Amino acid sequence: MIVAFVGTAGSGKTTLTAAFGRYLKENGHSVAYANLDTGVRKLPYRPDVDVRRDVTAWELMEEGYGPNGAIVESYDRLLPKVSAYLTEILKLEDERDYVLLDTPGQMETFLFHEFGVRLMENLPEPLTVYLFSPDILRKPEDFCFVRFFGLMIELRLGTTTVPAMSKVDTVERLEDYRKYLDDLDYLNSRLRLEPSMQGLLAHRMCSVLPELAPPTRILYVSARTGEGFDDLETLSYEHYCNCGDLT
Protein backbone atom coordinates (compact mmCIF):
# COMPACT_ATOMS: atom_id res chain seq x y z
CA MET A 1 0.00 0.00 0.00
CA ILE A 2 1.06 3.56 -0.64
CA VAL A 3 1.18 6.22 2.08
CA ALA A 4 2.05 9.81 1.14
CA PHE A 5 3.11 12.37 3.74
CA VAL A 6 2.00 15.87 2.73
CA GLY A 7 2.51 19.05 4.75
CA THR A 8 4.21 22.43 4.86
CA ALA A 9 7.96 22.84 5.18
CA GLY A 10 8.84 22.09 8.78
CA SER A 11 5.82 19.90 9.52
CA GLY A 12 8.08 16.88 9.85
CA LYS A 13 7.38 14.83 6.71
CA THR A 14 10.90 13.53 6.15
CA THR A 15 11.61 12.66 9.78
CA LEU A 16 8.27 10.91 10.04
CA THR A 17 8.77 8.98 6.78
CA ALA A 18 12.03 7.61 8.16
CA ALA A 19 10.69 6.85 11.64
CA PHE A 20 7.44 5.26 10.45
CA GLY A 21 9.40 3.18 7.94
CA ARG A 22 11.65 1.87 10.71
CA TYR A 23 8.61 1.07 12.84
CA LEU A 24 7.00 -0.87 10.00
CA LYS A 25 10.17 -2.86 9.37
CA GLU A 26 10.49 -3.68 13.06
CA ASN A 27 6.98 -5.04 12.82
CA GLY A 28 7.88 -7.37 9.98
CA HIS A 29 6.77 -5.35 6.97
CA SER A 30 8.80 -4.68 3.85
CA VAL A 31 9.07 -0.97 3.13
CA ALA A 32 10.15 1.18 0.17
CA TYR A 33 10.81 4.92 0.29
CA ALA A 34 10.29 7.45 -2.48
CA ASN A 35 11.71 10.94 -2.09
CA LEU A 36 9.83 13.51 -4.18
CA ASP A 37 11.60 16.58 -2.74
CA THR A 38 14.10 18.22 -5.10
CA GLY A 39 15.21 20.60 -2.35
CA VAL A 40 16.28 18.21 0.40
CA ARG A 41 20.01 17.77 1.02
CA LYS A 42 20.22 14.82 3.40
CA LEU A 43 17.69 12.09 3.98
CA PRO A 44 17.43 9.98 7.16
CA TYR A 45 16.41 6.97 5.03
CA ARG A 46 17.73 5.33 1.88
CA PRO A 47 15.31 6.17 -0.96
CA ASP A 48 14.38 3.48 -3.49
CA VAL A 49 13.16 6.23 -5.80
CA ASP A 50 14.62 9.73 -5.65
CA VAL A 51 13.67 12.67 -7.89
CA ARG A 52 17.08 14.25 -7.19
CA ARG A 53 18.64 11.85 -9.70
CA ASP A 54 16.99 14.02 -12.38
CA VAL A 55 17.14 17.49 -10.89
CA THR A 56 17.86 19.30 -7.63
CA ALA A 57 16.77 22.76 -6.55
CA TRP A 58 20.30 23.82 -5.72
CA GLU A 59 21.78 22.98 -9.11
CA LEU A 60 19.08 25.25 -10.56
CA MET A 61 20.09 27.96 -8.10
CA GLU A 62 23.60 27.69 -9.49
CA GLU A 63 22.04 28.34 -12.90
CA GLY A 64 20.77 31.64 -11.44
CA TYR A 65 17.28 30.82 -10.11
CA GLY A 66 16.20 32.13 -6.71
CA PRO A 67 15.08 29.49 -4.17
CA ASN A 68 11.37 29.76 -5.08
CA GLY A 69 11.97 29.82 -8.81
CA ALA A 70 14.36 26.87 -8.53
CA ILE A 71 11.77 24.77 -6.74
CA VAL A 72 9.05 25.48 -9.33
CA GLU A 73 11.46 24.96 -12.24
CA SER A 74 12.63 21.63 -10.83
CA TYR A 75 9.07 20.25 -10.98
CA ASP A 76 8.58 21.70 -14.47
CA ARG A 77 11.57 19.61 -15.50
CA LEU A 78 10.28 16.52 -13.68
CA LEU A 79 6.84 16.70 -15.27
CA PRO A 80 7.77 14.86 -18.52
CA LYS A 81 9.10 12.02 -16.33
CA VAL A 82 6.03 11.55 -14.19
CA SER A 83 5.08 8.31 -15.99
CA ALA A 84 8.52 6.81 -15.35
CA TYR A 85 8.19 7.62 -11.63
CA LEU A 86 4.71 6.14 -11.58
CA THR A 87 5.97 2.91 -13.11
CA GLU A 88 8.73 2.64 -10.54
CA ILE A 89 6.45 3.35 -7.60
CA LEU A 90 3.90 0.81 -8.86
CA LYS A 91 6.64 -1.81 -9.21
CA LEU A 92 7.74 -1.13 -5.64
CA GLU A 93 4.15 -1.40 -4.48
CA ASP A 94 3.99 -4.88 -6.04
CA GLU A 95 7.13 -6.00 -4.26
CA ARG A 96 6.77 -4.44 -0.83
CA ASP A 97 4.09 -4.12 1.82
CA TYR A 98 4.43 -0.35 2.08
CA VAL A 99 5.69 2.43 -0.19
CA LEU A 100 6.16 5.67 1.75
CA LEU A 101 6.11 8.86 -0.32
CA ASP A 102 8.00 11.81 1.14
CA THR A 103 6.56 14.78 -0.77
CA PRO A 104 8.11 18.18 -1.63
CA GLY A 105 9.29 20.42 1.21
CA GLN A 106 6.76 23.09 0.30
CA MET A 107 3.29 21.57 0.32
CA GLU A 108 2.02 23.90 -2.39
CA THR A 109 4.55 22.52 -4.85
CA PHE A 110 2.76 19.21 -4.57
CA LEU A 111 -0.80 20.56 -4.48
CA PHE A 112 -0.50 23.20 -7.18
CA HIS A 113 2.01 21.72 -9.59
CA GLU A 114 0.83 19.24 -12.20
CA PHE A 115 3.64 16.86 -11.22
CA GLY A 116 2.11 16.16 -7.81
CA VAL A 117 -1.47 16.07 -9.01
CA ARG A 118 -0.77 13.70 -11.91
CA LEU A 119 1.34 11.40 -9.78
CA MET A 120 -1.27 11.03 -7.07
CA GLU A 121 -4.21 10.69 -9.45
CA ASN A 122 -2.57 7.73 -11.13
CA LEU A 123 -1.56 5.77 -8.06
CA PRO A 124 -3.92 3.05 -6.85
CA GLU A 125 -5.71 4.29 -3.72
CA PRO A 126 -2.84 5.98 -1.94
CA LEU A 127 -3.55 7.20 1.59
CA THR A 128 -2.49 10.79 2.12
CA VAL A 129 -1.41 11.83 5.60
CA TYR A 130 -1.75 15.59 6.00
CA LEU A 131 0.85 16.55 8.61
CA PHE A 132 0.53 19.79 10.54
CA SER A 133 2.65 21.07 13.34
CA PRO A 134 0.98 22.10 16.64
CA ASP A 135 2.58 25.54 16.45
CA ILE A 136 0.17 26.69 13.74
CA LEU A 137 -2.76 26.22 16.15
CA ARG A 138 -3.12 29.36 18.25
CA LYS A 139 -6.81 30.17 18.26
CA PRO A 140 -10.09 28.32 17.63
CA GLU A 141 -10.26 29.47 13.97
CA ASP A 142 -6.94 27.73 13.29
CA PHE A 143 -8.43 24.35 14.20
CA CYS A 144 -11.19 24.92 11.69
CA PHE A 145 -8.56 25.88 9.10
CA VAL A 146 -6.66 22.65 9.65
CA ARG A 147 -9.78 20.48 9.51
CA PHE A 148 -10.73 22.11 6.22
CA PHE A 149 -7.23 21.91 4.82
CA GLY A 150 -7.39 18.13 5.00
CA LEU A 151 -10.50 18.30 2.84
CA MET A 152 -8.82 20.69 0.40
CA ILE A 153 -5.99 18.18 -0.10
CA GLU A 154 -8.52 15.42 -0.68
CA LEU A 155 -10.30 17.61 -3.23
CA ARG A 156 -7.10 18.51 -5.04
CA LEU A 157 -5.34 15.15 -5.09
CA GLY A 158 -8.41 12.94 -5.21
CA THR A 159 -7.03 10.71 -2.46
CA THR A 160 -8.36 9.77 0.94
CA THR A 161 -6.66 12.16 3.34
CA VAL A 162 -6.22 11.84 7.08
CA PRO A 163 -5.07 14.85 9.11
CA ALA A 164 -2.25 14.12 11.55
CA MET A 165 -0.77 16.43 14.14
CA SER A 166 2.99 15.90 14.19
CA LYS A 167 5.50 16.52 16.98
CA VAL A 168 3.01 15.65 19.71
CA ASP A 169 5.95 14.96 22.04
CA THR A 170 6.63 18.74 22.08
CA VAL A 171 3.11 19.58 23.28
CA GLU A 172 2.44 19.96 26.96
CA ARG A 173 -1.30 19.48 27.14
CA LEU A 174 -2.27 17.36 24.15
CA GLU A 175 -5.82 16.97 25.48
CA ASP A 176 -6.42 20.70 24.90
CA TYR A 177 -5.64 20.24 21.21
CA ARG A 178 -7.62 17.03 20.98
CA LYS A 179 -10.76 18.63 22.38
CA TYR A 180 -10.80 21.07 19.48
CA LEU A 181 -9.71 18.65 16.78
CA ASP A 182 -11.66 15.52 17.72
CA ASP A 183 -14.92 17.09 18.81
CA LEU A 184 -16.41 19.25 16.09
CA ASP A 185 -19.37 20.18 18.32
CA TYR A 186 -17.05 21.50 20.98
CA LEU A 187 -15.03 23.46 18.41
CA ASN A 188 -18.23 24.92 17.01
CA SER A 189 -19.49 25.92 20.43
CA ARG A 190 -16.25 27.85 20.95
CA LEU A 191 -16.33 29.40 17.48
CA ARG A 192 -19.83 30.66 18.19
CA LEU A 193 -18.30 32.89 20.85
CA GLU A 194 -15.80 34.54 18.49
CA PRO A 195 -17.22 37.91 17.56
CA SER A 196 -14.90 38.65 14.61
CA MET A 197 -15.71 38.18 10.93
CA GLN A 198 -13.04 35.49 10.97
CA GLY A 199 -14.79 33.71 13.84
CA LEU A 200 -18.10 33.93 12.03
CA LEU A 201 -16.63 32.45 8.86
CA ALA A 202 -14.93 29.69 10.85
CA HIS A 203 -18.18 28.89 12.59
CA ARG A 204 -20.07 28.69 9.31
CA MET A 205 -17.36 26.56 7.73
CA CYS A 206 -17.09 24.12 10.62
CA SER A 207 -20.87 23.82 10.81
CA VAL A 208 -21.07 22.42 7.28
CA LEU A 209 -18.08 20.10 7.70
CA PRO A 210 -20.22 17.05 8.67
CA GLU A 211 -22.21 17.47 5.43
CA LEU A 212 -19.02 17.47 3.37
CA ALA A 213 -17.09 14.54 4.69
CA PRO A 214 -17.66 11.45 6.79
CA PRO A 215 -16.25 11.82 10.31
CA THR A 216 -12.48 11.44 10.06
CA ARG A 217 -10.21 10.24 12.79
CA ILE A 218 -7.37 12.65 13.51
CA LEU A 219 -3.97 11.12 14.19
CA TYR A 220 -1.47 12.33 16.76
CA VAL A 221 2.05 11.26 15.93
CA SER A 222 5.62 11.77 17.03
CA ALA A 223 8.63 10.75 14.97
CA ARG A 224 10.73 10.98 18.12
CA THR A 225 8.71 8.71 20.43
CA GLY A 226 6.77 6.66 17.87
CA GLU A 227 3.50 7.76 19.46
CA GLY A 228 0.54 7.18 17.15
CA PHE A 229 2.42 4.87 14.78
CA ASP A 230 0.15 1.96 15.70
CA ASP A 231 -2.88 4.11 14.81
CA LEU A 232 -1.32 5.13 11.52
CA GLU A 233 -0.52 1.52 10.68
CA THR A 234 -4.07 0.40 11.53
CA LEU A 235 -5.58 3.21 9.51
CA SER A 236 -3.40 2.48 6.48
CA TYR A 237 -4.36 -1.15 6.66
CA GLU A 238 -8.08 -0.37 6.97
CA HIS A 239 -7.82 1.99 4.04
CA TYR A 240 -5.99 -0.57 1.92
CA CYS A 241 -8.48 -3.32 2.70
CA ASN A 242 -11.45 -1.01 2.28
CA CYS A 243 -12.51 -2.64 5.52
CA GLY A 244 -14.45 0.38 6.58
CA ASP A 245 -14.44 4.10 6.94
CA LEU A 246 -11.65 6.01 8.63
CA THR A 247 -13.50 6.99 11.79
Region near a copy of itself per CB under 8 A, out of 43-51, 104-112, 167-175, 229-237: 104-112
Nearer to a copy of itself, 37 or 50 (CB): 37
Question: Looking at 24, 127, 187, 202, which residue binds a copy of itself (CB under 8 A)?
Answer: 202
Site string for a copy of itself, 9-38 (x = CB under 8 A): xx--------------------------x-
Distance (Å, whole) CA 226 – CA 221? 7
Q: In angstroms, give the least distance from the CB of 198 to a copy of itself.
A: 4
Size of site (CB under 8 A) for a copy of itself: 50
Q: In angstroms, give the least distance from the CB of 183 to a copy of itself.
A: 19
Q: In angstroms, give the least distance from the CB of 37 to a copy of itself.
A: 8
* Binding residues vs a copy of itself (CB under 8 A): 8-10, 37, 39-41, 57-58, 61, 66-72, 105-109, 112, 114, 135-136, 138, 141-142, 144-145, 148-149, 151-152, 154-156, 158, 196-198, 201-202, 204-205, 208, 211-213
